[in-house]
Amino acid sequence: MNSSKCMNCTCTGVSIVWRCSHAGSFVIDLKMISRKRQVLYILFFISAVSIFYNSNHVFHHSPYNVAPYSLVKSLHLTLELPRNTTSRRVIVQSYIKHLQSQLARRVHQQYQAGDEEVYRKRRNHVKNACKKLNRSRNITAKELRLQTSVVHSPNLLYCAIPKCGTTFWRRVVVALTRKDPTIRSPFLLSYSDFNVNKAAFNRTLLKPKNFPALQNLLNNSLKFVFTRNPYHRLFSSYVDKIYAPNNQFWEVIAKKAALLVRKDNRDPNATCGQDLSFGEMVRYLNTLSPRKYDEHFLPASLKCDVCSVEYDVIGKMETFIKDMSYILNTSDSAGGYLKFHDVTTEYKVDYIVDAVTRAFLFKKNDNKRWKSWTKCISTHAANQRIWRQLQIAGHIDKTDPYPLTPQESDVIAMTDYINMALQAFKRSSKQAKAQKTEAYLQAYSELTREDLEILREKYLNDFYLYDYDDRPKDLFEQVGKEKIWDFNYYDLLKVK
């Protein structure tokens, strides 16, 4: 039965009427039965409505994810794909479909959605902060158009801030735009499917004569944006774009940064940028105007123009599951269009598959604009960095060392590496989750107080707009203090 069409149930002191658009209706006259049975019938119908309603919403309002930690241990995550399989789309879909087929039999997804009161407070905070900041320059209509995706039916308007869940939400946009019945999960879309140009703001709506149509779009869409603690966002960008094998970012950012901050090293051929430390990256950013940052480092306050566009939901990475659940349930995107089983497990497996495929494809150098990272470091060193990236993310125990020799690294296939990483993920412990915080603190321990204060100023509007602590104790209290780390997350910077 289609629950979305069978939810018209009314109960009065005289009768209960159940109406269904495709199954007619029936009435129970309460006057004809005893008081005890009246109560039982009312309770039955309340339960029935609840069941049908929840069956149409993938994210139920329950504080617990019923998939236990031990679930991962019991899953079969590896696949025997041909060694010459290199298509990112084929690999992603193969692993995610394999995972979801198992989760469908074991997990009934339950996550607590956010409360409207939370989003009201966030909207009010942004509104008050905008008044206090008295921002003199809003982003242009063209900039906003390029950052914003629109979905019709359901009506959604999403503005993307990199490193704030954009990969997930771009997949959602593509899935909802296509409405392909074979793609019910955003995780089934690979990076090559992220072309959201078709969902971009229609440029004609930005012309003055089309203001009524634009206003109608804004008034009738659920508008949302996601933000993140600036310190954490910067760290995440460094790990994924510079520490992990990424010759594109090495060429565009890291090499330039190394030549600038290393005063004793002006030889342009001395480094590819692959050895840029987090501290060096921060010191480089501190020399620039924030408006000149790459979009992955650009302050969130310079994107999406929250002081001009009144977003309905200001989501945060720190409460991602609740905010995502609220948006998908409120817009009726869940159940009707999208389907999840266990978002946490699906995300982690997807992260591992994506990290490996991305690094291996950068090695292939199909894009002639960027040279392969093999020009900068060995295959063995790059493969070690992928492993370390997964350790920093908390998906592989830091005590689980990279298992291959240099000779084995040179010949391992992409899918073999994925299988190896997924096996390590399965045997990881609960303690692995803490590694991301350890790696984060270790990276910031490289900074002097002056470095940290300048960085704070660069992102000051972000802290004010989105209500983040600009002087968190865990960062500012460790400055200048000697600390012996039991594990060095960045010792691979010097490995070639």
Backbone angles phi, psi at 83, to 5 degrees: -65, -25
Q: What is the pLDDT of residue 492?
A: 96
**Residue 255 φ then ψ, to 5°:** -65, -45
**Tokens representing residue 353 in the block:** 């598959």
> Which residues, including other chains, have CB under 8 Å from residue 231's CB and lie 6 or more apart?
440, 444, 459, 472, 475
- Output the CA torsion sign for 72, 76, 82, 85: negative
- Residue 17's pLDDT is what? 39
Closest by CA to 288, choosing from 321, 253, 263, is: 253
Only one residue has tokens 């794909």, namely: 81
Contact 480, 453 (CB under 8 A): no
pLDDT value of position 445: 95
In angstroms, what CA-CA distances link 425 with 130, 347, 430? 43, 13, 11
- Give the per-residue pLDDT at 15: 42
Type of residue at 111: Y
**CA atoms within 13 A of residue 93's CA, in its CB half-sphere:** 13
Q: Which residue has the tokens 């100023």?
A: 457
* Cα dihedral: 431, 226, 349, 67 (round 10): 70
pLDDT of residue 2: 41
Q: CB burial class (10 A; 0-12, 13-18, 19+) of residue 197?
A: exposed
Q: 144-167 burial, b for 16+ CB within 10 Å, e for fewer?
A: beebbbbbeebebbbbbbbbbbbb
Closest CA to 222 of 180, 173, 259: 173
pLDDT of residue 367: 56
- The count of residues in the chain is 496
- The pLDDT value given to residue 369: 62
- ∠ CA 112-114-120 to the nearest 5 degrees? 170
Q: Residue 220 has what pLDDT?
A: 87
| Each residue's pLDDT expressed in tens, for the chain with a length of 496 residues | 343 334 344 444 444 333 433 334 434 444 455 554 544 443 443 333 333 334 444 454 333 344 456 789 999 999 999 999 999 999 999 999 999 999 988 876 667 788 899 999 999 999 999 988 876 556 666 667 667 888 887 889 999 999 999 999 999 988 888 888 888 899 999 877 776 666 666 777 767 777 788 788 888 889 999 999 999 999 999 999 999 999 889 989 999 999 999 876 666 677 889 999 999 999 999 999 999 999 999 999 999 989 888 999 999 999 999 999 999 988 887 666 888 889 999 999 999 999 999 999 888 765 556 678 888 899 999 999 999 999 999 999 999 999 999 999 999 999 999 999 999 999 999 999 999 999 999 999 999 999 999 999 999 999 999 999 999 999 999 988 888 899 999 999 988 8
Residue 46: predicted pLDDT: 35
pLDDT of residue 54: 43
Position 403 scores a pLDDT of 97
Contact 386, 410 (CB under 8 A): no
